Amino acid sequence: MAARAALITGITGQDGAYLAKLLLQKGYAVFGVLPRRASDMLWRLRYLGIQDDVQLLDGDVTDLSSVIRAVEHSQPAEVYNLAAQSFVGTSWSQPILTGMVTGIGAVNLLEAIRMAQPKARFYQASTSEMFGQIREPVQSETTPFYPRSPYGAAKLYAHWMTVNHRESFGLHASSGILFNHESPLRGPEFVTRKVTLAAARIKLGQQKSLRLGNIDAQRDWGFAGDFVEAMWLMLQQDQPDDYVVATGRTTTVRDMCSLAFNAVGLRYEDHVEIDPALMRPAEVEVLLGNPGKARERLGWSATTPLEDLISMMVEADLARERQTA
């Protein structure tokens, strides 16, 4: 009997790699859509030791024809859309690209499923950035959205189009409204990895200081390895729905810096410099998720405390920097 198949867009990203590993452990045949945009896109799959276990298909979510071919080739029971231009800061300088990849790309995948594999279950990676200028102190599935970046706006379009395809065409389409989730596989442009990498390099004498923007912004940070399990659980439910995936704890960037530098025996105050040029045009000051629905209906909750997550990331960055020194 053939293994149950899953198709992942964004498989070479942080979440895609962890999700691929989880699905492989569960016995799935895992296919990934691979756009040819960078010189080395496979390092995360190698890091997790699964590069040879996934089947990569040439394609791009902005190209409907290639997405249809990927769906037809893989015949997936489950499709996970994790592809996006996902760096919020870049979305202001590349708003059209962000809209095409993050917004229209999701609709291309929904349409491909509707045409070629309508029984497949679909997961859309939504984001807490859709809440933006928060309307409630703790954000849940019923909190009104007010995105404060082109990225958040593009994700909101993809989110509502997922709801639309669910209600209009009967697709088993669910969205995970994920709050910030990090890991050693996070790109160095994201603030958590920027901080842990700088702490490691400063400890090793490879760097002297770290420039940051608003270090008093607060985020609900979890471990990506925990969050991908929630994605899978959503597609195991009889009825599709939308779920907030979060830890329920918020922490400032300042305190996260303290954790990272303390992990290598340093004080962040001695090395972190505030650079006004790194301030966002429109800031999201506080994000704090209520994961109650995911806990009650999916049986999911975050299991990795922020302290352990930051320690894990710093140790991974120390090991990688020592190897390349």
Give the residue numbers annotated as catalytic, written as ranges: 127, 129, 151
Q: Please give the DSSP secondary-structure letter assigned to residue 289.
A: B
What SS3 string covers 118-175?
A: CCCEEEEEEEHHHCCCCCCCCECCCCCCCCCCHHHHHHHHHHHHHHHHHHHHCCEEEE
Half-sphere exposure of 30 (CA within 13 A, CB side): 27
Helix H or strand E segment including 32? strand 29-34
CB 8, CB 34: distance < 8 Å: no
Residue type, 200: A
CA distance 192 to 188: 8
CB 255, CB 45: distance < 8 Å: no
CB-based burial of residue 75 (10 Å sphere; 0-12 exposed, 13-18 middle, 19+ buried)?
middle
